Amino acid sequence: MSESYRQPGVVLTDRWFSVPLDHGVPDGERIELFARECVAAGREDAGLPWLVYLQGGPGFGAQRFSGKQAWLGRALRDHRVLLLDQRGTGSSTPANRQTLPLRGGPREQAEYLGHFRADAIVRDCETIRTEVTGGAPWTVLGQSFGGFCVTHYLSTAPEGLATALITGGLPTLDGHADDVYRAAYPRMERKTLAHYACYPQDAERAARVVEYVAEHEPVLPGGYRLTPEAFQSLGILLGTGDGSHRLHYLLEDAFVRTPAGHALSDAFQEAAQAILSYAAAPLYAVLHEAIYAQDGRPTAWSAERVRAEFPRFDAGKSLADGTAPLFTGEAVQRWMFDCDPALRPLRETADLLAERTDWPALYDPARLAVNEVPAAAAVYHDDMYVDTEHSLRTARTIRGLRTWVTDEFEHDGLRAGGSRVLDRLLGLARGEL
């Protein structure tokens, strides 16, 4: 089934595919995938090569564009593009607090979600590729977690790839989640201090919010319980190019004067709820640490455990010491399943996933070392979401991979940079640069 329609300069076709829930049981239960085909207007009948886009996350559907926004316009110059909603996201068979009870209790839900990591996503791509391209290999573009999927693709099915492009998403090949977060918290501190250097007034503002939240324990309009730790996690903004400015504008209007004294403004609460809630992407929280699991050890709420090794992130201690609180970001912690009403029903399911020890390996360093697929990766200097040193170590393992290390962009460079990031990667992969 497909439906076509137009936006300025682009012809779009909505496509659906049926794939096995468990690719190891191809005749078993099936789920639905949604993907949006994009081609430049006037080139609908051209024999263009395909580029499939894998979104970051986990848990986010493919970007919804209006016309030739961001990198899409550059891609459409050379390719027919497939924007894939990875399993469980977007318009693909959804997995959230509303649908997962159809599977049964937490144990059945956890077993089901065990099929939603990069390995299954790549098998999905290979399953639909024959139908989409007629069997020809395609170019794959992976942003953030999408790059983790591309690295798995190179490890397991490189014959399906004409070119591999990665932006902000070269994973550690063998590091446990603990290693990821031990590298991450110092970056979060650097990003926070850089923010305060740019906006010194925000140090006092953030301390006021922490003090108020600790005393009043407010519940935001959508039911989110705002704790000091939840407030600190607004630092997820600091990993994007405009995030520091957005955080500043959020903090400058945090309080209003009321008959009962100063209180958090409705505007602040509404904006904070929009940033903190995982209602639109619950798999991001439920599966976030599972994307690193592969060595027989449980992740066991790694971000929360490792955080205790960095006492500077204790907001209460910061208040007592008279120092500005540090912000966190890209660190899913168990308390989020108490604070966020979209996650509360999934708390036991997430606990079971955090305890799991039999996750299969995701990457094959030996196969990556003999890679023959033209490949290029943008590595963002001091990326808050993906450790730069981990990425460069992986880059050295993948034979022929060309890297572009830049501090011009933050983690969202593919979106924020318009056509420039994709254009650079295509040039590197083609040997033009």
Q: pLDDT tens digit string along 155-173?
A: 999 999 999 999 999 999 9
Do residues 6 and 107 share a domain? yes
Whether residue 370 sits in one domain with residue 350: no
Instruction: Tell me: do 29 and 72 sit in the same domain.
Output: yes
List the CATH number of the domain containing 115.
Answer: 3.40.50.1820
Q: Which residues contact 129 (CB under 8 A, 6 or more apart)?
A: 52, 135, 137, 138, 160
Is 212 in the same domain as 344? yes
Let me know whether 331 and 229 are in one domain. Answer: yes
Model pLDDT, residue 3: 81
Q: What is the pLDDT of residue 241?
A: 96
Q: Identify the CA nearest to 7 among candidates 72, 78, 54.
A: 72
Of 290, 325, 355, the residue at which a domain comes to its end is: 355
**Does residue 227 surpass a pLDDT of 60?**
yes
Tell me if 17 sits within 8 A of 32, measured CB to CB: yes
Closest CA to 33 of 56, 53, 15, 52: 15
The number of CA neighbours under 13 Å toward the Cβ of 68 is 15
Which residue bears the tokens 């999408």? Answer: 146
CA distance 381 to 401: 17
- pLDDT value at 10 more than 70: yes
What would the pLDDT profile of 263-276 be if each residue is shown by its tens digit? Answer: 999 999 999 999 99
Distance CA 247, CA 241 (A): 12
Task: Dump strand ranges (E) for 145-236.
Answer: 161-167
Which residues have a Cβ under 8 Å from the Cβ of 292 and sit 6 or more positions away?
A: 171, 172, 175, 176, 177, 180, 299, 302
Return the H-helix or E-strand segment holding 264. Answer: strand 261-264
105 shares a domain with 223: no
CB 191 within 8 A of CB 329: yes
Distance of CA 125 to the CA centre of its chain: 18
Decide: helix, strand or coil at residue 421. Answer: helix
> Which tokens hold the place of 397?
């393992």
Of 312, 337, 355, the residue at which a domain comes to its end is 355
Q: Is the pLDDT of residue 2 over 90?
A: no
β-partners of residue 257 are: 262
Q: Give the domain range for residue 292.
A: 177-355
Q: Kindly state whether residues 348 and 367 are assigned to the same domain.
A: no
**pTM of the shown model:** 0.96
> 32 forms bridges with which residues in the sheet?
18
**And the tokens for 417?**
């940079």
Helix/strand/coil for 343: coil
Q: Looking at the predicted structure, is the pLDDT value of residue 356 above 80?
A: yes
For the sheet containing 30-40, what is the strand order?
2-7, 10-20, 30-40, 80-85, 50-54, 138-143, 161-167, 375-380, 402-406
How many folded domains does the chain comprise? 2
DSSP symbol at 63: P
Q: Is the pLDDT of residue 380 over 60?
A: yes
User: CB under 8 Å to 385, separation ≥6 — which residues?
Assistant: 144, 168, 239, 329, 330, 411
One domain for residues 170 and 253 = no
Helix (H) or strand (E) holding 262: strand 261-264
Which is catalytic among the residues 155, 195, 411, 412?
Answer: 411
Please name the residue that has the structure tokens 């604070």: 339
Closest CA to 77 of 40, 131, 45: 40
Q: Is the pLDDT of residue 391 over 70?
A: yes
Instruction: Looking at the structure, tell me whether residues 288 and 368 fall in a common domain.
Output: no
- Asked whether residue 248 falls in the same domain as residue 143, the answer is no
The DSSP line for 113-161 is HTT-SHHHHHHHHHHHHHHHHTT--EEEEEETHHHHHHHHHHHH-GGGE
411-427 pLDDT tens trace:
999 999 989 999 999 99
CA distance 72 to 240: 19
Q: pLDDT tens digits, residue range 169-217?
A: 999 999 999 999 999 999 999 999 999 999 999 999 999 999 999 999 9
Q: Determine the 3-state secondary structure of 170 from DSSP.
A: coil
Q: Is 358 a catalytic residue?
A: yes
Give dist(CA 178, CA 166) in Å, integer. Answer: 24
Which amino acid would we find at residue 344?
A: R
- Choose the catalytic residue: 2, 27, 45, 358: 358
Q: Which of 92, 144, 233, 277 is catalytic?
A: 144
Q: Are residues 282 and 411 in the same domain?
A: no
Per-residue pLDDT tens digits for 55-84? 999 999 999 999 899 999 999 999 999 999
pLDDT of res. 1: 57
What average pLDDT does this structure show over 274-287? 97
Please state, in angstroms and rounded to a whole number, the distance separating the CA atoms of residues 289 and 180: 10
Residue 397: pLDDT over 90: yes
Domain end among 323, 355, 387: 355
Task: Give the largest CA-CA distance in the chain.
Answer: 69
> How many Cα atoms occupy the beta-carbon half-sphere of 194 within 13 Å?
16
> Which residue shows structure tokens 């009403």?
341
Residue pointed to by tokens 């789920």: 31
Average pLDDT, the chain: 97
Same-domain status, 326 and 296: yes
Please report, rounded to a whole number, the percentage of residues in the chain having pLDDT higher than 70.
100
